A and B are shown apart, each in its own frame.
Chain A
């Protein structure tokens, strides 16, 4: 796994998000419920955070989690963008706590999604990408390097294929249990999931977080 960082610079996540004199420069704010699953309690600028649904059953929660990672940043005035998620539920985004005016959507970038993302990391604080198919390692590495250089967080919603380069942080949403619906009565009121966060090359021990994703209000919540 090639790291395009100058020799002598430690690029592991724990080094990247170590509290510094000015943490806002390093971390974008997260919804309180999401803090425990990320080292330092914030979305690390300049790092790749990949979100996927657990392999068994392979369903549910990754989209909600990926967008929720941006919610607090947009609400506190940071600029975020989402590339290649044509079916993003705008109402759900608002319920998650996303400030819709600070989340720019590029629903149909087509084959040029990576080019679009490269432009966006130039000016946005965080960019969510959802690759439509397999991603070649070279372009992925270049995009990640650009995001690192511009201090933009790159959130990968790995719906169709994984990110080829090991992300700094991998969030895996386990199988969910829905509450609220029975056999013809009630309505969906929330999904209980376990999210496993792991660092690059096992740099940090996996952390397991129990979570409502979403809760009855639509936002993620601690149990």
Chain B
């Protein structure tokens, strides 16, 4: 999670008619930029900067926040001394709340402590009015109470958006997709319908765009989830295993953050080297025969009874085998009489240039993968 320092200037959230607020805020951003060139305006009156680099340099988040505060207090701007509240936390959402909670002294939420910090806040802090209404009707008033709801109920009843907010309340994600402070249009611009407020929001910078793209994707998937069964939308995850099917799994889109991708699995003994088959099939029956038309067998020594000559997939036409590799015997759970699995894998290349991963098990041949 990206740690951010946020400076929130309440007086500058709304533009003055003569543009003085914008000029003053530009001065604030300049001060923060002097600590890191990655600083940027999130919207008028709110400026953010990733703390990773500068905190390492200046000796920690608390020290950095103190230095930014001192620098701001020494800055003369068009409006005189500017009131800036400083918050540091994992992700923009929590960092803005931290800045809102800050008085004169900065509020630094330690890494990984977002859930504890968020617990007393009212559910309205999510800025999802419909969700907040629903939660209040359920008797849930704080983010802490929301976080305590069992995940499976949230997924089922509150949909993707609700589940995203739930993860946020539990401190398991750092961003609300598309989250940014919605600029309250200045009375003058609202009356004229001038698009300048929108133009300012577009300065959100690269992470603002990324969050917007994710929000767009999530909205589309929200519609899709109503069309399909709950596990109909998924993402892939890698895991340890030997065969290509065992080395991956699908997790439902709605629950992907509860089942995060771990660090890459360690190589297992008996794994096939890359490339993996582009298609992984679930035990498609096949026949592999030798030159005399007899079904190929793999003996206890792991050697084939004869060179494979022809392959038929799912009872289809015979394809001449032009090259092959293996067999690679796999003897799994050999310690358990009931669960023991003995298999042998082979790669077969056919005359038309296709290649298959086939497996011998239970006295039959199966296609496990196609290199298509």
Contacts and interface: CB of A to CB of B under 8 A. Distances in A.
Nearest to B223: A119
B94 to A, nearest CB: 21
A59 B326 CA distance: 22
A87 B367 CA distance: 12
B214 A79 contact: yes
A190 B227 contact: no
A207 interface: no
Given A92-B275, A187-B347, A123 B216 contact: yes
A60 B371 contact: yes
A101 interface: yes
A92, A120, A176, A217 — most chain B CB neighbours (10 Å)? A92
Contacts of B217: 79, 104, 123-124
Given A123-B221, A125-B213, A90 B236 contact: yes
Given A103-B235, A112-B227, A181-B325, A187 B272 contact: yes
B234, B235, B236, B353 — most chain A CB neighbours (10 Å)? B353
A187 B325 contact: yes
Interface size grouping (class) on chain B: 35 or more
B325 A180 contact: yes
Contacts of B307: 183-184
B191 interface: no
Contacts of B188: none
Nearest to A108: B232
A78 interface: yes
B210, B304, B349 — most chain A CB neighbours (10 Å)? B349
Interface string A37-62: 00000000000000001000111111
Interface of B is mostly: mixed
Interface of A is mostly: mixed
Interface size grouping (class) on chain A: 35 or more
Contacts of B232: 106-109
A12 B46 CA distance: 44
Interface string B217-257: 11111011001100011111110000010011110010010
Given A187-B272, A217-B274, A78 B281 contact: no
Contacts of B155: none
B372 A64 contact: yes
A195 B227 CA distance: 37
A65 to B, nearest CB: 9
A119 B221 CA distance: 7
B212 to A, nearest CB: 11
Given A92-B277, A188-B347, A175 B352 contact: yes
Interface of A: 53, 57-64, 67, 77-79, 87-95, 100-101, 103-109, 112, 115-116, 119-125, 175-178, 180-191, 214-218
Interface of B: 210, 213-214, 216-221, 223-224, 227-228, 232-238, 244, 247-250, 253, 256, 261, 272-282, 304, 307, 323-326, 347, 349-350, 352-355, 369-372
